[in-house]
Amino acid sequence: MEKAFATAVALSLLGSTLTKAQVVPTADSSVHMPPPVVVKMAPEIPINDNSVIGSYYIELPFNKTVSIIFDSPVRSVDLGSRDIIADRATEVENVLKVKATRLGFNETNFSVITADGKFYSFVANYNESPGVLALNLAGSKVGNSETISLQARNKQINSNNLRDGIIQFAGVKATQSEVVYNCNEIMKKKRNVRHLGVEANKMEVAVKSVFIKDNVLYYKIALENKSNITYDVDYVRFFVVDKTTPRRTSTQEIELLPFYIYNEAIRSIAGKRVVERVYAFQKFTIPDNKRLKIMAGEINGGRSLSFIIRNSDIMNADKLN
């Protein structure tokens, strides 16, 4: 009895010892614990008011386009969402066209960087009838922290200033205002070109003057209606064509597009009347084996005319002072 009791006590003590050994780990001097990581928080740097760039609030429609005029050519545009779209105006470097791609879009933003290093920020909201369709930021100060609404800006900029924004044409040294002024001066001058034109069906189209200034060529074109039936101008187009075309050989025509047309709005020529236009092109010349072809057409009519100009006629352009 005593022997059995002693055996039970020994087993109990042994079990207690094993359990304790399992629970309490043995220290091992060969294992080194890494030191605790100390994270240092960077101090907060307050944003100076001079570092904040203000935003222009602008309203964008779906069925109309809003045009924004900048001091310098547009180099980069970043849109906040796909609900709006922006594109540089054709042949114009410093005018950006913006519109909505979805009706009733949620508020978004876009930014513009121009060639002179300026950064512009805009906040855009949907409005199918915006108060402003043309915004002139030429000469504006950017970099202040104020957010400017177009309504507030309109109080500072009258409608004349909005219309008189400086337009810069791609590849052209002259601004729009300078081109318009030059065209107006050409309209006052006497013709310096003769015998360049065509007459048919009592309708005559002729080149009256060719001028050059900087890198811009100006063609003064007269459209004279010698009949009593109104001539509604459909187009006046310019093509570079082959001088001679062998039989069974396809012709190659390259259209030259003017970047500005003076008096383009006048499209109806009453009977016994003359309308004169000035077409402004980036400077060009024509190879000896090519010719310049000018074509004019009538809306819903058969009075279409065309004639040829040689390169020598272009080279004889007078210098516009």
CATH of the domain at 103: 2.60.40.1550
pLDDT of 7 = 52
Residue 170, in any domain of the structure: no
Do 151 and 192 reside in the same domain of the chain? no
DSSP string, 205-223: EEEEEEEEETTEEEEEEEE
Residue 168, in any domain of the structure: no
Residue 249, in any domain of the structure: yes
Do 117 and 215 reside in the same domain of the chain? no
Confidence of residue 165 (pLDDT cuts 50, 70, 90): low
More confident residue, 33 or 10: 33
Residue 37, in any domain of the structure: no
pLDDT of 30 = 57
Confidence of residue 162 (pLDDT cuts 50, 70, 90): very low
* Alpha-carbon span 286 to 253, nearest angstrom: 13
Do 213 and 304 reside in the same domain of the chain? yes
Helix %, strand %, coil % of the chain (to 5): 15, 40, 45
Do 132 and 224 reside in the same domain of the chain? no
pLDDT of 244 = 74
pLDDT tens track for 94-150: 899 999 999 999 999 999 988 888 889 999 999 999 988 999 988 766 544 444 444
Q: Which two tokens stand for residue 174?
A: 């002259």
The domain tally of the chain equals: 2
Last residue of a domain, one of 101, 135, 163: 163
Task: List the CATH number of the domain containing 312.
Answer: 2.60.40.10
* Alpha-carbon span 92 to 258, nearest angstrom: 12
Do 204 and 284 reside in the same domain of the chain? yes
pLDDT tens track for 294-315: 999 999 988 999 999 999 999 9
Residue 260, in any domain of the structure: yes
Q: Which residues sit opposite 319 in a β-bridge?
A: 212
User: Would the pLDDT of 13 be above 50?
Assistant: no
Last residue of a domain, one of 115, 136, 163: 163
Residue 156, in any domain of the structure: yes
Residue 7, in any domain of the structure: no
Do 310 and 185 reside in the same domain of the chain? yes
Residue 41, in any domain of the structure: no
User: Would the pLDDT of 206 be above 80?
Assistant: yes
Do 271 and 301 reside in the same domain of the chain? yes
- Residue 54: how many CB atoms within 10 A of its CB? 14
Do 108 and 56 reside in the same domain of the chain? yes
Do 149 and 191 reside in the same domain of the chain? no
Confidence of residue 41 (pLDDT cuts 50, 70, 90): low
Do 314 and 267 reside in the same domain of the chain? yes
Do 246 and 309 reside in the same domain of the chain? yes
What ranges make up the beta strands (E) of the chain?
Answer: 55-60, 66-69, 74-79, 84-88, 95-100, 108-114, 119-126, 134-136, 148-149, 197-200, 203-213, 216-225, 231-242, 254-256, 260-262, 268-269, 273-282, 290-298, 305-309, 318-319
pLDDT of 245 = 60
Burial of 57 (0-12, 13-18, 19+ CB in 10 A): middle
Do 148 and 102 reside in the same domain of the chain? yes
pLDDT of 21 = 43
* Domain extent at residue 108: 51-163
